[in-house]
Chain A
Amino acid sequence: MKNDVKASATYVRFLNLIQAVRELPTFPSVDPVEERLLHALAASWHTDQRVTVLEAMRLAVDVSPTTLHRRLKSLRSKGLLALKVDDVDTRIKYVVPTEKTTEYFAAFGKCLEAARQT
């Protein structure tokens, strides 16, 4: 009985350790749909356009809004997007870039520049 309790305590510690290991920071990987969505959003941000969540869900015509909504959530959890509530109408949320988004596109820019020079 005592051994069972000890074994289960070790298992709980193991589960907590695995959870911490899972959360170790890495550079976020982006799937092709997320990448297309990010690029479409970047094009809009570049022209100082404000993009609402609903508009973002319609940015890629051949991808369903539900899929895009899921990708918006995953990009947000990866820290590559943030949402900003409209000052007047709190029902409206805008998709805005984060510091990580800037770093992401800066890395892209450097790669393109390197490729252009070779």
Chain B
Amino acid sequence: MVLQFVVVVGLWVSLYTLNDWMFDHWSFSAHVSWIFLPAALRMIAVLLLGWVGAAAIFFGSLMTCFFVAELTNVSHMLIISGLSALAPTLALLLCAHFFGVNADLAGLSARKLLLLSVLAASFTAGLHNIHFSAVGYVDAIGDSILAMFVGDLVGTLVVLYAAKWLVTLLVPKSA
């Protein structure tokens, strides 16, 4: 469990740093990018590891808030990190309740995975921007929500399709 936690935290920090470096010129604001690859990790970690994944995302997000984004307001960091872990968990709970995704992910089809990606991106964008708006970080909340939603969804799809390509390459379907 500890190893899984550490791996997710490490992956989060690496992906966040990579995203920050690769897509710096595509950022909408200090907290929002038009492509956000770690969004995929949020969803995958919660899908695979449940609350351990959510806790790892929370801790990883705290680390990137402090070391990469260089935030200093502790309560702001805690809320951003908490929402980062909460949004995919809420999306998964909703999917499990309404679309029949079991705890062992039996019944998770590609369609449901895409639906989960959209839900997770919506929750992340919605919850974060409500907070940003409340503390006066954004003026145009609508634009910020849209940018964050698109960034999270595109980032998730990029990682999922890269995984699909890799799986197809490494393990042919007939094997």
A14 at the interface (CB under 8 A from B): yes
A44 at the interface (CB under 8 A from B): no
Name the residue on B nearest A22 (C-beta).
B167
B110 at the interface (CB under 8 A from A): yes
Of B4, B104, B112, B163, which contacts A12 at CB under 8 A?
A: B104
Closest approach, in angstroms, between the C-beta of B138 and any C-beta of chain A?
33
A9 at the interface (CB under 8 A from B): yes
Bound Cα distance from A22 to B170, whole angstroms: 12
B114 at the interface (CB under 8 A from A): yes
Bound Cα distance from A10 to B44, whole angstroms: 12
Question: Which chain B positions have C-beta within 8 A of A12?
Answer: 104-105
Of A6, A10, A13, A20, which contacts B110 at CB under 8 A?
A: A20
Question: Which chain B positions have C-beta within 8 A of A13?
Answer: 47-48, 104-105
Bound Cα distance from A6 to B113, whole angstroms: 23
Bound Cα distance from A76 to B62, whole angstroms: 50
**Interface size classification for chain A:** 10 to 19
Bound Cα distance from A10 to B48, whole angstroms: 6
Q: Indicate if the CB atoms of A17 and B44 lie closer than 8 Å.
A: yes
B127 at the interface (CB under 8 A from A): no
B109 at the interface (CB under 8 A from A): yes
Bound Cα distance from A41 to B60, whole angstroms: 56
Bound Cα distance from A24 to B168, whole angstroms: 11
Q: Indicate if the CB atoms of B113 and A20 lie closer than 8 Å.
A: yes
Q: Indicate if the CB atoms of B109 and A23 lie closer than 8 Å.
A: yes
Of A3, A6, A9, A16, which contacts B108 at CB under 8 A?
A: A16
